[in-house]
Amino acid sequence: MIEVDDVHRVYGSGRFGGRTVHALRGVSFAVERGERFGIVGESGSGKSTLIRLLAGLDRPTSGMVRFDGREVSGRSERQLRFLREQLQVVFQDPMSSLDPRMNVRQIVSEPLIGTRHPDPVGRVRELLAAVGLEAGAADRYPHQFSGGQRQRISIARALAPQPSVLIADEPVSALDVSVRAQILNLLADLVDEFALTMVFVSHDLSVVRRVCDRVAVLRDGELVEVGTTEQVYSDRAQPYTRQLVAAIPTIERALAGVDAEQLAGQVAAAGGAPEKSAPDGSAPDGSAPVGARKDEEG
């Protein structure tokens, strides 16, 4: 469905002594139809750059991105219409990606403008139900919802044009930990229900692990590992991947059956990151562990 072939992206020309940043270095992978493919890497590893290339919002400096056999790079906006219909992105922060002046009906039906959909109102009702919002939500505005509910609205909007591929760009990072699991479960259910292909991007391997079949690990613009989520999570052949696992709060690893002490030893031996979680399994900022429920969404 998606092929990324030896893609490089260099920012800046380097002319007149200017700085260049080699954000992606020879990245290659393929995402099969129906797959849930995770891309994980720490800040600055090139995740946003890669998403922009997949969505046809930017062009690689060299290499090629293909969608359903068609080249994405180097096409005009008119030629990319097929991609805009087939591929939708859910962004990290629903507050900034939803227009505060539009009500939910307008937001969710916006992608249908110009498509001659026979029943946009009915479609909005259907989509709100699919993401677990009541029909009355259609008349309300983004600020009247909780963070998790706003992300549900973003997901409904992304599904409106009936895409075949959903790119989720850190979709739960801006949310309270108590609602993350609900949104992840919702995404997984919708991918099944609508037979979607999903590319799920996150800095957090534990989040990717919940929803993805395969995962690619990105470091400083290079793919250092690609494999099934379980392989990557449990083999940890790469010291960098071990660091990503070690950054997951202890309770998450306990749930995953990973021996925290053994892992900490491996990381220390690899010169890796220090243990970040508190002994009680809470996150470093003192927030509740992932998976804890406060029923904040209501």
Cβ-contact 171, 187 below 8 angstroms: yes
* 47 binds ligand ATP per the rule CB under 6 A: yes
β-pair type (2-11, 87-90): unpaired
Rounded Cα distance, 213 and 199, in Å: 10
* 171 binds ligand ATP per the rule CB under 6 A: no
Rounded Cα distance, 249 and 276, in Å: 7
**CA-to-CA dists, residue 287 to 115, 145, 296, angstroms:** 44, 22, 14
- Which range, of 45-53, 158-166, 191-199, 237-245, touches ligand ATP by CB under 6 A? 45-53
Among 21, 57, 254, 269, binds ligand ATP (CB under 6 A): 21
Q: Which is nearer to ligand ATP, 104 or 201 (CB)?
A: 201
Cβ-contact 179, 148 below 8 angstroms: yes
- Which range, of 37-45, 148-156, 242-250, 265-273, touches ligand ATP by CB under 6 A? 37-45
Q: Which is nearer to ligand ATP, 145 or 240 (CB)?
A: 240
Q: Which is nearer to ligand ATP, 12 or 284 (CB)?
A: 12
Rounded Cα distance, 258 and 249, in Å: 11
Q: Which is nearer to ligand ATP, 109 or 206 (CB)?
A: 206
* 224 binds ligand ATP per the rule CB under 6 A: no
* 23 binds ligand ATP per the rule CB under 6 A: yes
For the window 176-205, what string marks contact with ligand ATP as x by the rule CB under 6 A?
---------------------------x--
Q: What's the alpha-carbon Rg for the chain, to the nearest Å?
A: 20
* Interface with ligand ATP in residues 61-120 (CB under 6 A): none
Three-class SS state of 64: strand
Closest CA to 228 of 217, 240, 242, 239: 217
As measured in angstroms, the least distance from the Cβ of 235 to ligand ATP is 23
Three-class SS state of 253: helix
* 219 binds ligand ATP per the rule CB under 6 A: no
Residue ranges that bind ligand ATP, judged by CB under 6 A: 11-12, 21, 23, 41, 43-49, 203
